Amino acid sequence: MRKITSERILQAAIVDIKKNGIVNFSLPGLADKAHVSKSTIYDCFPTKDDIMLAVFRADLLRRLDSMLEIEHCPDLNVVDKIICCYSFVLYLHRHTGNNHGLMFLATNPTMWRRANPNLISDVDHLLQRIFRFPERLIERIAVENNETLKPSSRTKLLMNLQAIERGYLVNTLNYALQPIYVSAPLEQYIEVLIRELRTTLRSPLPQYSIDRVTDYLEKNAL
């Protein structure tokens, strides 16, 4: 019974944070939306920070499932898959504007400082698994072309790709409350990713397809 109640509270928290963000997120409001008392919430989640981290974890699990599907998709080549890895969240948040509240969870220092250490460790493990997907794909390109990629170069490339993704996400979030929820075109974003890949990898990259990528994202990201 407690597991069912915890799940109901978590789902209500996800909807609330998606719609209103973390600034307006409150336990009285959550209790009302989940149709439970505040004491019931505390029985399931000792602190508000634990709830927010649980919401972040649920979002990461969805992303992890998406990465697994991308990795094993037969319709995408290896470069398409790298693009999808770094475009999935961007595409999701551009086309479902009420998801923008989730983006600020990772930058909430209070949550990371106060939440349950075991839950923090679990979330950190999920993040490492997510970051590992594009790394495997990049290694695959290098191996298939007999190219030796230095660990430092690989790490720098991954950090740069993550920085590009974050930059475009922030740009998108600036438009979250505007009538038109868009910023730079996806095609421009993909070109920036490809340029970064070509800067590090000497091997010729397999030809990517914007049509394949957008078709996959339309079917799986929304």
φ, ψ at 36 (rounded to 5°): -135, 170
For residue 188, the model assigns a pLDDT of 85
pLDDT at 104: 65
Length of the chain: 222
Q: In this structure, which long-range contacts are made by residues 113-118, counting pairs with CB atoms below 8 Å and at least 24 apart in sequence?
A: 113/49, 114/47, 114/49, 115/47, 115/49, 115/50, 115/52, 115/53, 116/46, 116/47, 116/50, 116/53
Other C-beta atoms closer than 10 Å to the C-beta of 109 total 7
Residue 172 to residue 32: CA distance in whole angstroms? 31
Report the pLDDT value the prediction gives residue 103, as an integer from 0 to 100.
65
Note whether 116 and 46 are within 8 A (CB).
yes
Mean pLDDT per 10-residue section of the chain, whose length is 222 residues: 85 88 87 93 92 91 90 94 88 64 71 86 90 92 90 91 78 45 69 91 90 90 66
Answer for the pair 17, 105: CB distance below 8 angstroms, yes or no.
yes
| Cα–chain center distance at 54 | 14
The pLDDT value given to residue 89 = 77
Chain Cα centroid distance, residue 65: 11
**What pTM value is reported for the model?**
0.80
Q: What's the Rg (C-alpha) of the chain? A: 19
Distance separating alpha carbons of residues 10 and 61, to the nearest angstrom = 14
**CA atoms within 13 Å, Cβ hemisphere of 185:** 4
Residue identified by tokens 């995408």 is 76
End-to-end, the C-alpha distance of the chain in Å comes to 31
Give the Cβ contact number of residue 65 at 10 Å: 11
